[in-house]
Amino acid sequence: MMEPTNEEKSTSKLSREIITPANLITITRILASPILFILILSADGENGASWKAFILGLIFGISDAFDGQIARATGSVTKLGAFLDPLADKVVVLGCMLSLLSIGRFHWLPVMIIFTREIGISIYRFWVVRKGVVIPASNLAKWKTFVQGVTLLVAVLPPIGDIDWLVIMMLWFAVAMTLITGWQYIQKGNEAFQNPPMGRS
């Protein structure tokens, strides 16, 4: 019986890293996100509030909560998954916020603050990784993502469609958490550069 070649082994390993239950859930969330954006945009007359958008957004939130647990439970934690999961969060959150901005549900200032922070910190984290520094997500950063998601769910929930003050208050709370966690990332990155681990010049 012929032994698999090195190329075949590499391909098999790559396939196992990509095709894991958790990664498939995350990839599905990214690919299905335009449906959520369309549902929000099509509910223009209701300020973006729609039961379909709320239910789909809730499914996205539940899948985000469980894909990491599934990866750990099945022993299939991968570098690709660690990259895809926050990417999916940003695609869904920023896409929904821009959709709500375009129909006038959200004001441009908080959306642009969050958008600038998310893109800016993503670029910063990519840059520090190239320098050999990995900045893990803090517990507060995970809560930040949760608050952003809840804010979006409240914004598209039909019974709360006319309670603008609640949506505005929650959006600005999300902005505050977004800025605080962004500053934390920069601080951690600077500390890592000032105190490099042994073996990294």
CA distance 128 to 124: 6
Give the CA distances from residue 49 to residues 39, 44, 83, 103, 163, in Å, rounded to whole numbers and listed in that order: 9, 8, 31, 11, 11
- Residue 151 belongs to some domain of the structure: yes
- Residue 185 belongs to some domain of the structure: yes
Helix axes 6-18, 79-102, angle to 10 degrees: 40
Q: How many domains does the chain have?
A: 1
Q: Name the least confident of 1-5, 106-110, 147-151, 153-157.
A: 1-5
Residue 149 has pLDDT above 60, yes or no: yes
Torsional sign, CA 126, 136, 16, 62: negative
Tell me the pLDDT band of 19, cut-offs 50, 70 and 90. confident
Determine the pLDDT at residue 172: 97
Determine the pLDDT at residue 3: 54
User: What percent of the chain has a predicted confidence (pLDDT) above 70?
Assistant: 85
- Residue 13 belongs to some domain of the structure: no
* Cβ neighbours of residue 153 closer than 8 Å, sequence gap 6 or more: 54, 57, 58, 61
Whichever domain contains 93, its CATH number is 1.20.120.1760
104-108: average pLDDT: 93
Which residue range is the domain that position 33 belongs to? 21-194
- Rounded to two decimals, the pTM is 0.82
- Residue 2 belongs to some domain of the structure: no
Contact 58, 153 (CB under 8 A): yes
- Residue 111 belongs to some domain of the structure: yes
Tell me the pLDDT band of 201, cut-offs 50, 70 and 90. very low
- Residue 170 belongs to some domain of the structure: yes
Residue 198: left if φ>0, alpha if ψ -120 to 50, beta else—which one?
beta
- Residue 12 belongs to some domain of the structure: no
Of the candidates 33, 69, 41, 178, the residue with the CA atom closest to the CA atom of residue 116: 178
Residue 42 has pLDDT above 90, yes or no: yes
- Residue 4 belongs to some domain of the structure: no
